[in-house]
Structure 1
Amino acid sequence: MAISFEKAFGVHPSAMMARTQRAEIIATNIANADTPGYKAKDLDFEAVLNQAKSKQNGSMVRTHEKHFDINANSINANAQFRNPLQPDTGDGNSVDVQVERNLYVQNSVEYQASLRFLTGKIQGLKKALNGQ
């Protein structure tokens, strides 16, 4: 009987990829905090997660490493401009560094939680394979 990693791990690998992309977007926001006209972006995590769930229920899968990954840029397509919480400072920049730092830390904690869940699943599979 073959082990289906998609069934074993569920949506967590996709969630980790989305959290990685979100960390990159938030880091870009922080890096551009002083860039005039830069608008803060964020990832609609719920939309990305729903997209991953729907793909998990029967979609095209990449069967060879040389095949094009048609889903590679789907996460970046969900990046949206964030509504600013502060009034415009006059330069058109909508990045609030304190908000971005808080979002980055929250995203990091959620990434670590998914990583721990996957680590636990892998350890459970290893025990099952070893007959423990």
Structure 2
Amino acid sequence: MGLNISRAHELMKSAMDYRAARQDIIAGNIANADTPFYRPKDISFEDTLAQKSAEIFKDKSQTLQMAQTNGAHLGPIGSDSSKPTTFFRDGHMARNDGNSVDLDVETTEMAKNSTMFNALTAALKKDSALFKSVIDASGKTS
């Protein structure tokens, strides 16, 4: 495990990983715009990021426990909450070949994702620069 600059730094790194994965999926959708019967995919990571944030900042208010009304009932099945959920982005008219990729939607989603990725990059740089300035200032003797 590396140096932990701040709790927010870890969250921003996770968000960047998810944004990079989403960029790959959107690029795959665009690449398959002419593939018959292709359905565009996307990932949902906002819930996963909220869980990660609650975990990092020790906020347990967003945890919902499953009620078990009878001792004979099965308990909850654990899932890996560190992975985003992949789903098919439907709702667009399929063409005659069954493909439902809408290039306008895909390029818009890619632009929004790129903007968020760039904002995260800037925030990480600022967070790192603040940490570096504290180290530099503590190394100087008066």
TM-score bracket, shorter-length normalisation: 0.7 to 0.9
Superposed displacement of residue 101, structure 1: 0.6
What stretches of structure 2 of length at least 5 have no aligned partner?
Answer: 59-79
SS in 1 for 2:42: strand
What's the % identity of the aligned pairs?
A: 34
Superposed displacement of residue 98, structure 1: 1.1
From the CA coordinates, give the structure whose radius of gyration is larger.
Answer: 2
- Provide the rounded CA distance (Å) in 2 between the counterparts of 1:92 and 1:17: 32
Q: 1:6 to 1:92 in 2, by over 3 A?
A: farther
C-alpha contact 2:5 2:131 (8 A) present in aligned 1 = no
* Greater than 4 Å deviation, 4+ residue runs: none
Corresponding residue for 1:61?
Answer: none
Aligned positions, number: 114
| CA deviation map 1:33-79 (0-9, x unaligned) | 00001110111131231343355368xxxxxxxxxxxx7x823xx11
Q: 1:57 to 1:120 in 2, by over 3 A?
A: closer
Q: If the length of structure 1 is used for normalisation, what is the TM-score?
A: 0.76
How do 1:104-115 and structure 2 match up within 5 A? Answer: 104-115=110-121
Superposed displacement of residue 4, structure 1: 3.1
Residue from 74, 77, 82 that aligns with 2:83? 74
**Structure showing the higher helix proportion among its residues:** 1
